[in-house]
Amino acid sequence: MSSTRREFLQVAGAGVALATFLRGGSAFAADSDTVTIAYNVNLPAWDPTTGPSAVNPTIQAIYRSVFDQYIGQEPNLEFVPNILTDWGWNDDKTRVWMTVRDGVKWQDGSDLTPEDVVWSLKRAGDPDGGNPIQFVWSTIGDFTIDGNRVEAKVKSYEPTLFKWMAFLTGYVLPKAYYEKVGAQGFEKKPIGSGPYMVEEFQSNGFLRLKRNPHYWGDKPAFETVIFKFVTDATSRVAEVESGSSDITLQIPYEEYDRLTSGGKFSGSCEPVSDIGMIFINDVKPLLDKNVRLAATYAVDKQAIIDRLLRGYGVAIDTLEAPEYLAYDPSIKVPHDPEKAKELLAKSGFSPDNPVKVTIQTTRGYMPRDYEMIQAIAGMWSKVGIEANIEVYEIAKHYELRAADKLAPFAFYNWGNAIADPATSTGFAMFGPSPHSVWDTDDLDQKIAPLWNEKDEKKRIAGWKDVDRYIAEQGYVLPLLQYAQPIVYRKGLKVTPNKSEALEAKLIDRTVD
C-alpha cells in the first residue's frame, strides 16, 4: 500500500470516528437531521465586530449563521431587509433613518429592540472599541429613537454606510446580555438572533449549531449543522470521500472535477466576489518602481488559471472584479517578461544578479494558493527576481497586516461582497487604512477626496482613475477573480453565494 493511500485512509478513518461522535452515532444516516461541513478555516473569536478576524470574509458564513446583520444580502448580492426593514438618507444627506423589525428575539428568548441597534452602532463607532471598520461606523452619531424608528446625525458623509450594514462587522449584538457577561463571557457563550445557536464549540476542532427556535425568518432545513475546521485541502477531500462530512469547499479544482464527475457528489463552481491579489509593501527593494513593475509584468495570470486552476477564474489587472462598480476593462497590465527584464536591468538586476525578496502565502486556504505562488516565483526567477516563499496561516496574515509588518510581497484573498471600490481599492491601498501596507502620499492624496464624495458618478470615475494610477505605478499585484468550488453528497442542495459565505441556511435537501 502506498504511503499516500495509507495516509488517506488514516485521515478518513479519523474523520468517520469524529463524525459518528458529533452526530451521536448517525454518521451515515440518509434521513439524518444533521449536516456536516468540512470547513477551510478555524474560528478564532466569537465577536463578529471586533479584532482582525472580523474582517475575514471566509468566517462570515459562521457569523451569519448565529448573528443577524442590519441589512441582508441574497446569494446574488442583492440588498434586502433584515433586522432593518427600511433605511435611507434625508434629502441633503445630513441625517440617516432606519426602521427596526418588530418581533425579533434573541436566542435566549428576550426581545431585540431599537436600543440594541443603537448600542451596536455606537459600539462599532467607538475608537477604543476594537472594530477594524470603526472609521465607517463613526460617521454617524447623536442617535434618537421613536418607536421602531432610529435616526442619527451624519457627522461625515460615508457613501457606503448602508452597504457596510450587510458586510464585515455589520452585526447587531444583544446590549443587555453583552453588558451582563462582558467580552469574555460572550466568547464562552455567544448569543445572536440568527437562524442557528451555538451548542458546542471547540477551538481548532469543530462547531456544532442547533436550530434557533426563536428565529424570526424562514426555518432552516436542518436541526443541527456542524462545522469541522479542516484547514488542509487534501484532508477536506478525504472528509467528503469517506462520508464523514457532507459538504466541503475550496478544494483543488482537479479534485472538484473528479468528485463531481463520478456520480456520487454534486457541486457548484461559480465566480464569487473574492479576488486573489499580492500586497506590495513600501519597503526595500519595492520602493524601486522598476522592481515593482517588473514583478507585475512577469506574471502570466491566464497561464496560472489555465494550468493550476483548470480554467476556473478570471484574470484581473486592478482590485476590481468584473461585477464591481468601478471595474474598468481598459486598464491592462500585460504579461511582458522582456519588459520586466528591461526594467530590472535599469536597476542593475538580471537572472544572473537577481533582486531578492520574500513572499508570504497561505497553503490550502484557497485552491492552489501555495502552488500559484510557486508558479509566480518561477516566473519571477526567469526575469531576475529571486523569491523566498514563507508560509503562514491566514490569522497570521491579519496580525502582520494590522501591524504593517508583512513581507515585501504577501498573497491574500480579498473579499468585496458589496462590490464598492472603496472596499476593495480604498481599504487595501489607502495608507491610513489598517488594511493597507502601501503608505505613500501620492496615492493617499488621490484617494482621500473620494471617501466623502456625494456625486456618485464622480466618485466612481475617481476610483477608476485611482486604479489606473496604481497599475501604472505597480503598487499592488492583482491576480484573479475566484470561482468557489463546493462539493456535497447526493441528497443535498447547496445554494451558491456570490459573497463566498457558505451559510448554514443555504443548505437544503433535494426534492425527488
Position 262 scores a pLDDT of 85
User: Quick one: which of 59, 136, 120, 70 has its CA closest to 434?
Assistant: 136
CA 189, 226, 274: angle at the middle one, nearest 5? 95
Write b or e for each residue in 215-253: b if 16 or more Cβ atoms lie within 10 A of its Cβ, otherwise e: bbeeebbbebbbbbbbbebbbbbbbbbbbbbbbbbbbbb
pLDDT band at 22 (very low <50, low <70, confident <90, very high): low
Residues 485-504 pLDDT 10s? 999 999 999 999 999 999 99
Is the domain defined by 271-483 classed in CATH 3.10.105.10? yes
In CATH, the number for domain 67-178 is 3.90.76.10
CATH of domain 3-47+180-270+484-509: 3.40.190.10
CA distance 355 to 352: 10
Distance CA 360, CA 373 (A): 9
Pairing of β 385-391 and β 355-361: parallel
Three cell numbers written together for 338? 522582456
How far apart are alpha carbons 470 and 486 in whole angstroms?
Answer: 34
What is d(CA 271, CA 312) in angstroms, rounded to the nearest whole number? Answer: 8
Q: pLDDT confidence of 86, banded at 50, 70, 90?
A: very high
Q: Specify the pLDDT at position 512.
A: 53
List pLDDT tens digits, range 121-156. Answer: 999 999 999 999 999 999 999 999 999 999 999 999
Q: pLDDT confidence of 422, banded at 50, 70, 90?
A: very high
HEC-encoded secondary structure of 39-100:
ECCCCCCCCCCCCHHHHCHHHHHHHHHHCCECEEECCCCCEEECCEEEEEECCCCCEEEEEE
362 confidence band (pLDDT: 50, 70, 90): very high
Whether 500 contacts 273, CB under 8 Å: yes
C-alpha cell at 427: 481599504
**Rg for the chain (alpha carbons), in Å?**
23
Q: How open is the CA angle 403-447-155, to the nearest 5 degrees?
A: 85
Burial class (CB in 10 A: 0-12, 13-18, 19+), 1: exposed
- Percent above pLDDT 90 for the chain: 88
Amino acid at 144: T
**Please, which pLDDT band fits residue 278 given cuts at 50, 70 and 90?**
very high
At 41-55, the pLDDT tens digits run 999 999 999 998 898
Q: Where are the domains of the chain?
A: 3-47+180-270+484-509, 67-178, 271-483
Residues in the chain: 512
Backbone phi and psi for residue 419, each to the nearest 5 degrees, phi listed first: 60, 20
Contact 496, 268 (CB under 8 A): yes
Angle at 277 between CA 501 and CA 435, to 5 degrees: 75
The region, left, alpha or beta by phi > 0 then psi within -120 to 50, assigned to residue 149 is beta
